Amino acid sequence: MSGTDPIGPIEDRPNPVRQISDGPLRSELNRDIPVARPFEFAPLRIGPLTIDPPVVLAPMAGVTNAPFRSLCRRFSKSRCLYVSEMITARAFIEGHSRTLKLASFGADEQDKKSIQLYGTHPETLAQATKILVEDWGVHHIDMNFGCPVRKVTASGGGAAIPVRPKLLASIVRAVVKSAGAVPVTIKFRKGIDDSLLTYLDAGRIGEQEGARAVALHARTAAQLYSGTADWAAIATLKQHVKSIPVLGNGDIFECWDALRMLRETGCDGVVVGRGCLGRPWLFGELVAVLTGEAPPPPPNLGIVLDTLREHASLLAEFFGEPLGMQQLRKFTGWYLKGFPGCKRQLPALHLVKTLADLDLLLTDLPRDLPYPEIALRARRCKDGRAQEKVALPAGFLDCRFDELQIQDPIEMDGG
């Protein structure tokens, strides 16, 4: 079994974004936020890994595959940590072709191979971890205890697992033991809803069972991606977890948001999710402001289109052109978000089948349009709705502190 599926040496490709505007762009919310002072933020240390500045790409279903990670990495010159989308332990062990593809790494990922692993059974997760460490040579394993999607929580996984502390502890313990020297981290939400908050227990269990860092998406599972992330919960978690780093996740749409989160919560690093969709250059901006420099000016539409085209090429190389173009379709609206006059092309872009067709559709767009401020915080990927009730297995909330075993789902990659 091989853990590498080359898509070509990314460092040899030209960076598609150039600095052509008059200065950094920021929303009114961040108008007066200064860049970092010298040595204001320490590097993030996760076991033997050092991430400087302390920025992590959040695992996102159907998004953080090898091509997207490579594109993001290029903008930060590989200075952040880029985590794969969620991989199901059982499907990985059984060798499902789709799972193995999603678990594979690009040719540029040689020093920080990072993968998010999902499952509900300690032995299955431990077995998958052993393969990832010994055969695939991964350098970091993140565990998903935060996915709020119905099909995941209804099977007792994702954000449901912290409801059962002994189950959570047994899973983390098994994976940490199997991983050996490879650091294991865990990512979770505040809880099921406001009446059942579990994040402090999850942080304590992660710390006690050998996780090398914990990350909190500061929303409940019921919230999904609605409302505003509760950064105060990140600060509270930081006060309770003392011996390992605490990372904050939620509402990092601009590089300035990361500065505010770090300063307001005292957390040790930020996890960036929806804010980078259609904006992979955000990681270059984050590196700049967290190391005391002004961010590069934003790209105009022409440079955005060049980036979109390069992303398409990477996806086509990795998945093959038909599937690669299917993967690209959702990104087209994210890249073009906020640019006037571009909506008319979206229906066709959402059906694009070939690179040649893509080129034709992009040809007539006005390349000199400046990057719109409204696009900085525009909603991408998830809608603003919450869920009335989080789906859980029957009886899951009964005797919460008893032992429990759940069989792993066969295949549920990407959430």
Return the active site residues: 147
**Taking a C-beta distance cutoff of 8 angstroms, is the pair 245, 45 a contact?**
yes
Residues, the chain, total?
415
The alpha carbon dihedral of 344, 272, 185, 131 has a sign of positive
104 CB-near residues (< 8 Å, 6+ apart): 2, 3, 4, 5, 66
Dmax over CA atoms of the chain, in Å, equals 62
**Taking a C-beta distance cutoff of 8 angstroms, is the pair 361, 349 a contact?**
yes
Q: Which tokens belong to 144? A: 């998903």
Please return the burial class of 381, using the count of CB atoms within 10 Å of its CB with bins 0-12, 13-18 and 19+: middle
d(CA 332, CA 278) in angstroms, rounded, equals 7
d(CA 284, CA 78) in angstroms, rounded, equals 10
Cα 204 from chain centre: 23
Q: Tell me the β-bridge partners of 55.
A: 270
d(CA 191, CA 199) in angstroms, rounded, equals 6
Cα angle for residues 209, 215, 220 (degrees, 5° grid): 110
Q: Which tokens belong to 25? A: 């762009």
d(CA 170, CA 162) in angstroms, rounded, equals 11
Q: Which tokens belong to 53? A: 């500045």
